Structure 1
Amino acid sequence: MSGYDMRDLGSEYTLEYLLAFNGREHHYPEGYFVKIKRIDPTPERPHGLRYSFTLHGPEGMRLIGFDNAHPVVPVGGRFKKKPVAADHWHRTENDPGRPYAFVSAEQLVDDFLDEVERVLKQRGIELVVQTTTERKTS
Structure 2
Amino acid sequence: MADEAMQRLLDYDRRRYWLANGWSIRFRVVEVPVTTGRPHGIKYAFTLHDVDRTRLLGFDNAHGLPRVQAYDHRPRFRRTAELVAYNWRGADELICDFFAAVEAACRMEGVPFEFEAADVELEPEDDDGTEEPV
Q: What's the TM-score, normalizing by structure 2? A: 0.74
In our comparison, the structure showing a higher alpha carbon Rg is 1
**In 1, Cα distance between the equivalents of 2:28 and 2:112?**
21
Query: 2:112 is matched with which residue?
Result: 125
Aligned residue-pair number: 119
Counterpart residue type for residue 30 of structure 2: K
Query: 2:31 is matched with which residue?
Result: 38
Query: 1:89 is matched with which residue?
Result: 74
**In 1, Cα distance between the equivalents of 2:25 and 2:98?**
12
Among residues 79, 82, 92, which one is paired with 1:106 in the alignment? 92
Which 10-residue stretch deviates more, 97-106 or 41-50?
97-106
Deviation, 1:87, is 0.9
**In 1, Cα distance between the equivalents of 2:44 and 2:122?**
17
Deviation, 1:71, is 6.2
Residue-by-residue CA offset, 1:49-96 (whole Å, 9 max, x unaligned):
1000010111111111100142657xxxxxxx852x521101222242
Q: Looking at secondary structure, tell me which structure has more strand per residue.
A: 2
Asked if 1:136 corresponds to 2:125, the answer is yes
Unpaired runs of 5+ in structure 2? 127-134
3-state SS of the aligned residue for 2:121?
strand
Q: What's the TM-score, normalizing by structure 1? A: 0.72
Counterpart residue type for residue 112 of structure 2: I
Say what the alpha-carbon RMSD is for the aligned residues: 2.5
Asked if 1:63 corresponds to 2:56, the answer is yes
Query: 1:19 is matched with which residue?
Result: 10
* Kept in 1: contact 2:56–2:80 (CA 8 A): no
Counterpart residue type for residue 132 of structure 1: E
**In 2, Cα distance between the equivalents of 1:69 and 1:89?**
10
Indicate the percent of aligned positions where both proteins have the same amino acid.
Answer: 28
Counterpart residue type for residue 94 of structure 1: R
3-state SS of the aligned residue for 1:119?
helix
Counterpart residue type for residue 11 of structure 2: A
Unpaired runs of 5+ in structure 1? 1-11, 74-80
